[in-house]
Structure 1
Amino acid sequence: MFNKIILIGRLTRDPELRYTPQGVPVASFTL
């Protein structure tokens, strides 16, 4: 399963990529 997310804005810092206990990658952005 692939999720394509397009965000328009200014990223105040680099995206943070972490993994849930199930091994699912989660990326969080600060706009």
Structure 2
Amino acid sequence: MINNVVLVGRMTRDAELRYTPSNVAVATFTLAVNRT
């Protein structure tokens, strides 16, 4: 199953890509958004 998510904002730095022991890619990043 594939999940799709749309996020709107500014990435504060480059995403970090790593792999789980079962070789599944996982990306970690931070997102800055306006809270109005």
Q: TM-score, normalised by structure 1?
A: 0.70
Q: Which runs of 5+ in 2 are unaligned?
A: 32-36
Q: CA RMSD in A?
A: 1.3
Q: Which runs of 5+ in 1 are unaligned?
A: none
Bigger share in strand: 2
Q: Following the alignment from structure 1 to structure 2, what is the Cα–Cα distance between the partners of residues 27 and 4?
A: 14
Q: Percent identity?
A: 65
Instruction: Find the structure with the greater CA-based Rg.
Output: 2
Size of the aligned set, in residue pairs, is 31
